[in-house]
Amino acid sequence: GENVEQHPSTLSVQEGDSAVIKCTYSDSASNYFPWYKQELGKRPQLIIDIRSNVGEKKDQRIAVTLNKTAKHFSLHITETQPEDSAVYFCAPQGGKLIFGQGTELSVKP
Amino acid sequence: KAGVTQTPRYLIKTRGQQVTLSCSPISGHRSVSWYQQTPGQGLQFLFEYFSETQRNKGNFPGRFSGRQFSNSRSEMNVSTLELGDSALYLCASSQDRKGEKLFFGSGTQLSVL
């Protein structure tokens, strides 16, 4: 079946540093690559997404890069702030709606 | 535009009982998917409906079932509850294409005693 892995599972950075989370998938039919953010006690929310015909997309401090050949895509957060602290999920789509196991990001002031 | 609404927010049941959870998607959204979230387990996909048809199903036992109505509202049912079914159940809706740009509800927290 499809396999989705996220790394790292936890990440702690100092405010102002950059953070990178990587998502590896196995389904070669995947053509849509989103990242969701879930703050403590809240619902997941889409923060950025990319399609397979695009290699990179940026929205202010966040960006997503895609390497379709290697079957992985990454979330990049620059100039991290305490409000970036949350669990981040990747969810490459091509068939079943499978989410990565999540990365808990902690930004220390 | 109202967001995705899930009811009830909290449920306490005992083993062996059954439960029905409800999800009202954003107006105009035709796809509804359901997920089970437990600490440390991430979001486990249950099933997805589009225009009243189940299009995909995750790896859960047959005790978990769902349906979607003509107004796109969806329900999921869990029969013969087990302690391990205690979890946050989230539903998400999207406009048309499967699995893209999901909008989540706040979830139903189910506790099985």
Q: What is the pLDDT of residues A68-102, one digit of tens each?
A: 999 999 999 999 999 999 999 999 987 678 899 99
Residue B97 has pLDDT above 70, yes or no: no
Average pLDDT, chain B: 94
User: With contact defined as beta carbons under 8 Å apart, do B7 and B108 qualify?
Assistant: yes
Beta-carbon separation of A99 and B42 below 8 A? yes
Output the pLDDT for position A96.
73
Least-confidence region, from A8-17, A32-41, B10-19, B33-42: B33-42
Chain A residues with CB within 8 Å of chain B CB: 1, 32, 34, 36, 42-46, 49, 89, 91, 93, 95-102
Looking at the complex, does the CB of residue B101 fall below 8 Å from at least one CB of chain A?
yes
Is residue B24 very low, low, confident or very high in pLDDT (cuts 50, 70, 90)? very high
- Residues of chain A with C-beta less than 8 angstroms from the C-beta of B95: none
Put simply, the answer to whether A96 touches B56 (Cβ < 8 Å) is: yes
List the structure tokens of B74: 């969806």
**CB contact B58 to A (< 8 Å):** yes
Mean pLDDT value of segment B52-67: 94
d(CA B29, CA B49): 11
Cβ–Cβ < 8 Å for B102, A46 = yes
Residue indicated by tokens 């506790």: B111
By the 8 A CB rule, do A76 and A105 touch?
no
Which tokens in the block code for residue A39?
Answer: 């703050």
Whether A9 and A103 have beta carbons less than 8 Å apart is answered as yes
